[in-house]
Chain A
Amino acid sequence: EADIYQTPRYLVIGTGKKITLECSQTMGHDKMYWYQQDPGMELHLIHYSYGVNSTEKGDLSSESTVSRIRTEHFPLTLESARPSHTSQYLCASSRPGQGAYEQYFGPGTRLTVT
């Protein structure tokens, strides 16, 4: 079934650790996005990708990095986690053209850095 997956769903990790949040989609979408969302707050775009080998930083500055080596895979990496990185991270994807504004969201990863 076509879907967008995120793993892990929950992660509690100590300060200084390197982490990778996984996002994969089987919908054949070319555009993919990472949002950061604190509880009860708006979603902030931190990274997006138009396609393979194309990544851009979003509107909210983030210490995380992303890669897009395969169309279906868009992982987010934090080299050294800090408590300020504690948040929910949502991955989304969309079709090309005007369909790009209908974004399909994954279930999210709730990250806690202690």
Chain B
Amino acid sequence: AQRVTQPEKLLSVFKGAPVELKCNYSYSGSPELFWYVQYSRQRLQLLLRHISRESIKGFTADLNKGETSFHLKKPFAQEEDSAMYYCALKGSSNTGKLIFGQGTTLQVKP
């Protein structure tokens, strides 16, 4: 079964501390994973995708097939990073369907 698990509903860190938002997936095949973010009073939007191997707003995410994980990391959190973060997995068919995790609220305290 295809599934995305984000074990933490809330992650609270101080400004300047490292951040790691956990994402584990279940997928038989070659997965494609994404992180979406929703800032307060804004729409849900794509943050990054693993195939691009990009760093966006200082965030990176590495696909670890052995651990079936796609954790989102940032070395030094900023207050403006406070938001809801969703990990998403591309569905098995080429339809554009995404399977979302439960989401993690990141709270960066001053």
Check if A and B associate.
yes
Q: How far is the CB of A106 from chain B (nearest CB, A)?
A: 7
Interface contact A100-B86, CB-CB below 8 Å: no
User: Which of A13-21, A38-46, A73-81 contacts the other chain?
Assistant: A38-46
Interface contact B96-A31, CB-CB below 8 Å: yes
The answer to whether A105 and B44 touch (CB under 8 A), given A43-B86, A48-B96, is yes
Complex: A102 Cα to B34 Cα, angstroms: 9
Interface contact A42-B101, CB-CB below 8 Å: yes
Across the interface, which residues of A come within 8 angstroms of B46, CB to CB?
Answer: 102-103
Interface contact A101-B96, CB-CB below 8 Å: yes
Contacts between the two chains (Cβ within 8 Å), count:
53
Residue in A closest to B34 when the chains form the complex, CB atoms = A101
Across the interface, which residues of B come within 8 angstroms of A43, CB to CB?
Answer: 44, 86, 100
* Contact with B95, one of A48, A92, A105, A107 (Cβ below 8 angstroms): A48
Across the interface, which residues of A come within 8 angstroms of B100, CB to CB?
Answer: 35, 42-44
* Contact with B45, one of A33, A59, A105 (Cβ below 8 angstroms): A105
Q: How far is the CB of A91 from chain B (nearest CB, A)?
A: 10
Q: Count contacts on A: residues with CB < 8 A to the other chain.
A: 25
Q: How far is the CB of A71 from chain B (nearest CB, A)?
A: 15
Complex: A43 Cα to B96 Cα, angstroms: 15
Q: Is A24 an interface residue (CB 8 A)?
A: no
Interface contact A42-B44, CB-CB below 8 Å: no
Residue in A closest to B87 when the chains form the complex, CB atoms = A42
Residue-wise, chain A 79-114 has the 8 Å CB interface mask toward B (1 for contact) of 000000000001010100000111111111000000
A-B CB proximity, top 8 nearest? A100-B96, A105-B44, A43-B100, A42-B102, A31-B96, A105-B43, A42-B100, A102-B46
